[in-house]
Amino acid sequence: MAQYSTPLDDAFQALADPTRRAVLARLGQGPTSVGELAAPFAMALPSFMKHIHHLENAGWISTCKTGRVRTCTLERDRFDVVESWLDEQRRIWEERTDRLERFVTATSNEESPA
């Protein structure tokens, strides 16, 4: 069976890893170099770069190399993909709970003595 990934799949897969979430949190404060991003993590730079590439491929960050320094920047548009999916889920579940509330209210009104 062929697997096809969507922007939403890529976004959530990138968010599934705590290292990548920490990188995104740090980049929320502003652009920074890969070296500064890697400093708090106990891993070799090539291993850390796999996380950077994953985030970049998923569209969460962009990188720019100037000389020997690679700077990462958060791509805030990616949050829109996740936010729109969450908004749709919220709408679906609110409709369901509203229907359940109407059902329970109607049922209890039918059972109440007049």
Number of H helices, E strands in the chain: 5, 3
What confidence tens digit (pLDDT) does each residue in 45-99 have?
999 999 999 999 999 999 999 999 999 999 998 889 899 999 999 999 999 999 9
What band does 22 get if pLDDT is binned at 50, 70 and 90? very high
What is the structure's pLDDT at 112? 64
Sheet containing 61-66: give its strands across: 32-33, 69-74, 61-66
Give the CA dihedral 49, 55, 58, 59, nearest 10 degrees: -120
Q: Enumerate residues 6+ apart whose C-beta is below 8 A from 88.
A: none
What is the structure's pLDDT at 48? 97
Instruction: Report the Cα 34 to chain-centroid distance in Å.
Output: 20
What is the structure's pLDDT at 114? 56
Angle at CA of residue 75, ends 15 and 82, nearest 5°: 45
What is the distance between the alpha carbons of residues 76 and 63, in angstroms, rounded to a whole number?
14
The answer, as to whether pTM is greater than 0.95, is: no
In the numeric block, the tokens 């980049």 are attached to 27
Tell me the average pLDDT across 31-39.
97
